[in-house]
Chain A
Amino acid sequence: MNLDRYHYIIADDYQKYVFYSSGPQGRIKKVVTYTKLSDTPLTYNLAFGDENAAGVVDDGVVSNNQDRDMVLATVASTINLFCDHYGNHFIYAEGRTPVRTRLYQMGISRLWQEINVDFQVLGFVNGDWEDFQHNVNYEAFLVKRK
């Protein structure tokens, strides 16, 4: 992928990434973490949220910083770096709420031409996993680098 993105601070285990969204609402600290979910198949959870000054993390707030694609591109970039160190395994992601998951889905759709080059994306809908399609409201996603 070759999209504009924010630079980030990478934890030395390459499982945590911190960056700062910058826009009309100011600077917002963003945190991406990867946690192993299962060994067979090896699957990791991608969790993403905003960390406030008190150190409380949440993803329930729409930050409205007018940089959503740049934020998404940054998160996608962390997947690449994570896979460089841990291998190309399934990575699970969902929003805290259906609205948030829908925002992720729209973001993937907008950047699909770039994302599809490097990643296989599955979506969960109607009780099953399927290859990602536009205009489908998925409950969750699985991403695997090709």
Chain B
Amino acid sequence: MYNTKGIDMSTVKKAVQDTLHADVVSDKVRSYADDPYFVKKTEKAKEFLRQHPIPERYLKK
């Protein structure tokens, strides 16, 4: 995709990613919500905490 000045924005985006000199907030970050790796990790974590809940002694702190 080119902007109005004829600059290839995909190249610009890659350049930004190659030289991260500051933290950047972006609405272009992939969701990952349906990524099999993260879905599996979340389900595994839920099951682990269901079996081994956080003890009350730590919840009162």
Contact = CB atoms under 8 A, between A and B. Distances in A.
Interface of A: 6-12, 16, 18-20, 27, 31, 33, 35, 37-38, 41, 43, 45, 47, 49, 55-59, 90, 92, 94, 96, 120, 122, 124, 127-129, 140, 142
20 contacts: A7-B23, A8-B24, A10-B29, A38-B46, A41-B54, A41-B59, A45-B45, A45-B46, A47-B37, A47-B41, A49-B37, A56-B37, A57-B35, A90-B54, A92-B45, A94-B45, A94-B48, A124-B52, A127-B52, A129-B52
B2 interface: no
A88 B59 CA distance: 12
Interface residues on B, range: 20 to 34
Contact of A140 (B29, B30, B38, B48): B48
Interface of B: 17-18, 20-27, 29-32, 35, 37-38, 41-42, 44-46, 48-49, 52, 54-55, 58-59, 61
B17 A20 contact: yes
Contact of A9 (B20, B48, B61): B20
A92 to B, nearest CB: 5
Contacts of A127: 52
Contacts of B54: 41, 43, 90, 122, 129, 142
A103 B27 CA distance: 32
A67 B54 CA distance: 32
A45 B42 contact: yes
Contact of B55 (A9, A47, A129): A129
Contacts of A129: 52, 54-55, 58
Given A31-B32, A33-B38, A38-B46, A11 B26 contact: yes
A94 B46 CA distance: 12
B26 A45 contact: no
A9 B24 contact: yes
Nearest to A18: B29
